[in-house]
Structure 1
Amino acid sequence: MNKIIVYEHVNFQGLCREFTSDVSNLIDHNFNDCISSLKVIGNPWVAFRDVNFCGPQSVFEEGEYARLENHNNDTFSSLQLVTEDLSNPQITLYEHVNYQGRSLVINCETNLCYGSFNDITSSHKVQRGAWVLYEHANQTGSIIVARAHRDVPSYGPFNDLLSYLRPLKPRRPKFSAVLLWDNKQEDVKSVTIDSICGHNATDQRQIFCPELHRTYEVFMTESFNFCNAEEIKNGTKFDVDLSKLKTVYDFPVQETFTVEKGTSNTRTKKKSMQVPLPATVPPHSKITVNVLAKEVEVKIPVNLIITDAFNKTKTTGGEYVCHSKVSVRTMYMEEPI
């Protein structure tokens, strides 16, 4: 869902309105010239000072804007959703009006001060996407929002002022992970992590160990590995239903993952577990305490469903892996000596 939520006061306070389509006149919604903060979900929106999408413009991409001092605070009268496909932008700048003179094709964010086209553009054609054109290289001053197939033959007062431009960003893709439980692989084994011996060759009971217990660290590591590296970006969040694992491990299972390093997400949880030791060793005896831990490795194939700004979906594969060392226990063995 693409929508904008506008608020009467800063920090998302006061009255608010929510819109999912163009608003040509905010007066009709009793919300004219009063917007001081806003939230954008999905594709960008353009806010206009005047009704019917006229006058100076401000652009808001997906995110939260607690204060609008730099965006004509309390002056918006109409709102328009950017509906173009923003995935592969391209714009052609022209030196003179009516698309005359030299031209320059641009496909990415560009500072014209570093080239030979600074402060000479007077018209443009947008082949793909939507762009913000700035008067100054620090992205301030007057702006023009340039959109696909809406050619501008003359900038008028903006002629020969363009110094910086960037394409608008599309809505962040939404991710949902589906675990294929029927194809789960699980390996469970018991491993010895410590062995403690006590010898008593005397006729009296002796203290087995000065410690009453020992402490061991147990852990659980979860990781996601994805087949398509290009689709997963840092900061991506997705939910996973791991409820079927909650009874398997001694750790609480979280169900929201955030990708932190490229294409995979790994997290490890640790905790300490105390194991009691026997107090004494009988006469002429040897006691061996073996400390055992249960190691479990679970691998579950994952279908990661990616939904773009226009609700088109595609699926990439991956794997959820959980490796744990939990359930520490002891085995006692007493032998005569």
Structure 2
Amino acid sequence: MSGKIIFFEDRNFQGRSYECISDCSEIASHLSRCNSCRVESGKFMVYDQPNYTGQQYLLTRGEYPEYQNTIGFNDCIKSCRIIPVHQGPFKMRIYERANFEGQMHELTDDCDSIQDNYHMPDMQSCNVIEGYWLMFELPNFEGRMFYLRPGEYRNLQEFSRDDDMKFNSTRRITES
């Protein structure tokens, strides 16, 4: 893993800063607030709550002088997780219902509409076998996003405070 992100207390890279090269569950332990950042290398998932919870957004190399308008967070970034570089195939199994029940499909590539491509009315669980993925609430990789690492996700509703949340598209996190 190689990545570097610098958080700043104020907008436009002003105020005190904190440099991060790994996961950080509580940015408030380093800065009183965080209102801008710069990704110098790698990719980071940032969260609007501590401990990798709440709304999340993928940041790639670049500058985010006033990300409230760019990524839609109402408040500041509270935690971040580095996205490891994955070399090799991608593989995920998606299921219609919780606990890996109902219709199952195996994905090895991005899917812009789970409902259209697999005729699944809903997707409530998945097993990420290889690679790192983003799951989106809307088709065409839009709406709220959720970071998935290799592992079993028995109930995707646990990601959301909204009981009616549906997941409608998924994308691999690749180098490009």
Matched, 1:146 2:148: yes
Q: Is the 8 A contact 1:134 1:143 kept in 2?
A: yes
Match for residue 50 of structure 2? Answer: 51
Offset of 1:9 from its aligned partner? 4.0
Between the aligned partners of 1:159 and 1:124, the Cα distance in structure 2 is: 17
Unaligned runs of 5+ in 2: none
The one-letter code sitting in structure 1 at the alignment partner of 2:41 is I
Match for residue 127 of structure 1? Answer: 129
Match for residue 79 of structure 2? Answer: 78
Match for residue 35 of structure 2? Answer: 35
Give secondary structure in 2 for the equivalent of 1:98: helix
Match for residue 60 of structure 2? Answer: 61
Matched, 1:165 2:164: no
Between the aligned partners of 1:5 and 1:161, the Cα distance in structure 2 is: 33
Gap change, CA 1:90 and 1:37, over 3 Å in 2: same
> What whole-Å deviation, never above 9, does each CA across 1:202-228 have from its counterpart, x for those lacking one?
xxxxxxxxxxxxxxxxxxxxxxxxxxx
Between the aligned partners of 1:169 and 1:30, the Cα distance in structure 2 is: 31
Between the aligned partners of 1:165 and 1:158, the Cα distance in structure 2 is: 19
Offset of 1:159 from its aligned partner? 6.3
Unaligned runs of 5+ in 1: 173-337
Offset of 1:166 from its aligned partner? 0.5
Q: Is the 8 A contact 1:36 1:73 kept in 2?
A: no
Match for residue 93 of structure 1? Answer: 94
The one-letter code sitting in structure 2 at the alignment partner of 1:169 is T
Q: Is the 8 A contact 1:119 1:161 kept in 2?
A: no
Give secondary structure in 1 for the equivalent of 2:29: helix
> What whole-Å deviation, never above 9, does each CA across 1:39-63 have from its counterpart, x for those lacking one?
2412x21112222222222221333
Considering only CA atoms, is the larger Rg found in Structure 1 or Structure 2?
1
> What whole-Å deviation, never above 9, does each CA across 1:51-84 have from its counterpart, x for those lacking one?
2222222221333334422241543211111236
Between the aligned partners of 2:75 and 2:9, the Cα distance in structure 1 is: 8
Q: Is the 8 A contact 2:105 2:118 kept in 1?
A: no
Q: How does 1:209-220 map to 2 (within 5 A)?
A: none
Gap change, CA 1:73 and 1:36, over 3 Å in 2: farther
Offset of 1:20 from its aligned partner? 0.7
Higher strand share: 1
Between the aligned partners of 1:63 and 1:117, the Cα distance in structure 2 is: 37
Between the aligned partners of 2:83 and 2:9, the Cα distance in structure 1 is: 23
Offset of 1:137 from its aligned partner? 1.7
> What whole-Å deviation, never above 9, does each CA across 1:154-178 have from its counterpart, x for those lacking one?
12246661111111123x7xxxxxx
The one-letter code sitting in structure 1 at the alignment partner of 2:123 is T
Q: How does 1:288-327 map to 2 (within 5 A)?
A: none
Give secondary structure in 2 for the equivalent of 1:49: strand
Between the aligned partners of 2:48 and 2:121, the Cα distance in structure 1 is: 25
Between the aligned partners of 1:27 and 1:136, the Cα distance in structure 2 is: 31
Between the aligned partners of 1:119 and 1:31, the Cα distance in structure 2 is: 44
Match for residue 25 of structure 1? Answer: 26
Higher helix share: 2
The one-letter code sitting in structure 1 at the alignment partner of 2:166 is L
Q: Is the 8 A contact 1:50 1:76 kept in 2?
A: yes
Q: Is the 8 A contact 1:45 1:80 kept in 2?
A: yes
Gap change, CA 1:62 and 1:90, over 3 Å in 2: farther
The one-letter code sitting in structure 2 at the alignment partner of 1:163 is N
Query: Could you state the TM-score of these two structures normalised by the residue count of structure 1?
Result: 0.45
Offset of 1:148 from its aligned partner? 0.9
Of 123-132 and 83-92, deviating more is 83-92
